[in-house]
């Protein structure tokens, strides 16, 4: 019988992928905020999203990053769009890639969704450029 306090292999793979994509600092901050209430949710997304989907070999992390940003933009998930735009520094997706994905969003999910995501991406790029210059 499995010990429920021992992380699964899928969880460990997910955490490694999550750290590679989002960065240790982001993941550490997120982990510090976990409570007993949201621990099952955090385990679910670490195993399912990061350990299963993001860890699959068919699409590269760059490609997954582009798809993820487009989907989040289409859904209006502003905080997640910003987080994943920032993560492109770890996935290899370029600003040109993001722009093209958001043009796609404009056609298939609507101009307002793409316009809002473009504003978010520009803000994140400005922050990233300022951090790099400092």
Q: What is the pTM of this model?
A: 0.91
Buried residues in 88-113 as b, exposed as e (16+ CB within 10 A): bebbebeeebbeebbeebbeebeeeb
d(C-alpha 31, C-alpha 16), whole Å: 13
Taking the chain, what is the end-to-end CA distance rounded to the nearest angstrom?
52
**For range 103-128, the mean pLDDT:** 98
pLDDT per residue as tens digits for the range 70-97:
999 999 999 999 999 999 999 999 999 9
Does the 59-134 domain belong in CATH 1.10.3720.10?
Answer: no
Domain residue ranges in the chain: 1-58, 59-134
Instruction: Detail the DSSP E strand segments found in the chain.
Output: none
């Amino acid at each position: 019988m499995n010990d429920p306090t021992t992380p699964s292999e899928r969880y460990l793979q997910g955490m490694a992928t999550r750290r590679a994509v989002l960065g240790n600092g982001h993941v550490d901050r997120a982990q510090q905020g976990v409570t007993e209430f949201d621990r099952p949710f955090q385990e679910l997304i670490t195993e399912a999203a990061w350990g299963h989907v993001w860890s699959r070999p068919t699409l590269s992390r760059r490609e997954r990053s582009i798809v993820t940003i487009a989907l989040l933009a289409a859904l209006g998930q502003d905080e997640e769009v910003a987080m994943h735009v920032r993560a492109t520094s770890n996935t290899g997706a370029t600003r040109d890639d993001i722009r093209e994905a958001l043009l796609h969003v404009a056609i298939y999910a609507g101009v307002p969704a793409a316009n809002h995501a473009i504003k978010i991406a520009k803000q994140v790029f400005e922050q990233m450029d300022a951090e790099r210059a400092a």
